[in-house]
Amino acid sequence: MPQSLAGIREQARVKLRGICHVCPVCDGRRCPTGLPGMGGIGSGASFRNNIKALAAYQVNLRVLHDRKDQNLSLNLLGYKLTFPILAAAVAGTRVNFQGRLDEEELARYFVLGAAEAGSLAFTGDGPLPELMEAGLAAIKTAGGRGIPVIKPREDQEIINLIRRAEDSGAPAVAIDIDAAGLVNMMRAGKLVEPKTVEQIARLAAATPLPLILKGVMTVADAEAAVAGGAAAIIVSNHGGRALDHTPGTAAVLPQIAAAVGDKISVLADGGVRSGVDVLKMLALGARAVLVGRPLAIAAFGGGIAGVRLQLESLADDLAVAMRLTGCGDLADIGPQVLRVNEAWGVRL
């Protein structure tokens, strides 16, 4: 098993041939596949907008200060995490990866790799029961260190899966509300739907676990999540896989965090590729970030060790970015580390 990230990526390039080129920076410009596959939906604009939105912010280099040591740890959902970088749910190997890894293998690589790194992974759901089963099994194996993301199915079905999540020892449960129009669920005869605030409130009340809503892209939905009793939201456009021509998540994050950040935990994902990207998301108001495709590549190239190494490499990179922007711990990271690039018309 290759021990360097370069070796892991080389291995992944072979295993993912025809599905993903394993580009030097995963930016959605050359994806050989969309959906199903690794790319974005439709024109791919939503995926690329995630990358562009992050690139629109520049960081202020500051090296005359006393923040000589960096502490990346945080408490999230009752866990002490080594760093604010979590593994996003990446599932559906039969359709997205032509079955080149078993669903159980992929889920185990994500969950155990993240747990070994001192972090947490999310696991996925889809039309085939094997997706949810693989995730729950991996979470159980990791002693509950993982969070299942349930599709916005019919409410009673969600509650049945929430019970399974409780049994697995998961510290929280999530619903990817942006999958409300997911074609492969609907084609398989599985209902997915937008949810009302009342439905969210009933689902949140049905479990003692904190409920996380993934796929919030507007202040209106963030406020609805708060009103429905969600414990956290993930600002996400599903890696550009839900709806074509949505903005990048980093572009909408500041307004959402400003509106609800004092009432609810705000996490974010989409296009995070480096420690500087993590720093930017945190400066824009996220408490932690999720990373998807780079970890899928690491899982294909290096299994559990690959996922762990990729997460740790991002964290090392974040520590350097914090040191060079005058941040000692995560609470130091605020808008002052950003210099807005006026060319993109971005306002904080």
**Residues with catalytic roles:** 238
Contact call for residue 238 and ligand FMN (CB under 6 A): yes
> Under the criterion CB under 6 A, does residue 124 sit at the interface with ligand FMN?
yes
Considering only residues 142 through 201, tell me which ones interact with ligand FMN, judged by CB under 6 A. Answer: 149, 176
Q: Which two tokens stand for residue 344?
A: 């993109």
**Residues within window 283-302 making contact with ligand FMN, judged by CB under 6 A:** 291-293
Structure tokens at 162: 């929430």
d(CA 179, CA 150): 10
Q: Should residue 96 be labelled a site residue for ligand FMN when binding is judged by CB under 6 A?
A: yes
> What is the number of other CB atoms lying within 10 angstroms of the CB of residue 84?
23
Strand (E) or helix (H) holding 329: none
Please report whether residue 236 would count as binding ligand FMN according to CB under 6 A.
yes
Question: Under rule CB under 6 A, which residues in 15-44 are in contact with ligand FMN?
Answer: 38
Among 44, 118, 148, 270, binds ligand FMN (CB under 6 A): 270
The one segment of 84-92, 140-148, 160-168, 302-310 that binds ligand FMN by CB under 6 A = 84-92
d(CA 103, CA 16): 15
Query: Does the footprint of ligand FMN cover residue 304 (CB under 6 A)?
Result: no
Q: Which of 48, 214, 287, 308 binds ligand FMN (CB under 6 A)?
A: 214
Stretch that binds ligand FMN, among 88-96, 138-146, 162-170, 223-231 (CB under 6 A): 88-96
Closest CB to ligand FMN among 96 and 310? Answer: 96
The residue from 19, 52, 84, 92 that contacts ligand FMN (CB under 6 A) is 92
177 versus 257: smaller Cβ distance to ligand FMN? 177
Q: Cα–chain-centroid distance for residue 169?
A: 20
Minimum CB separation of residue 53 from ligand FMN in Å reads 11
Q: How many CB atoms lie within 10 A of CB 13?
A: 16
Q: How far is CA 202 from CA 80, 166, 177, 196, in A?
A: 29, 17, 15, 10
Name the H helices within the chain. 5-15, 45-55, 93-96, 103-116, 129-141, 155-168, 183-187, 197-205, 219-227, 249-260, 275-283, 293-323
Dist. CA 63–CA 323, nearest whole Å: 8
Residues that contact ligand FMN, how many (by CB under 6 A): 25
Q: Where along the sequence are the contacts to ligand FMN (CB under 6 A)? A: 38, 50, 88-92, 96, 124-126, 149, 176, 214, 236, 238-239, 241, 269-272, 291-293
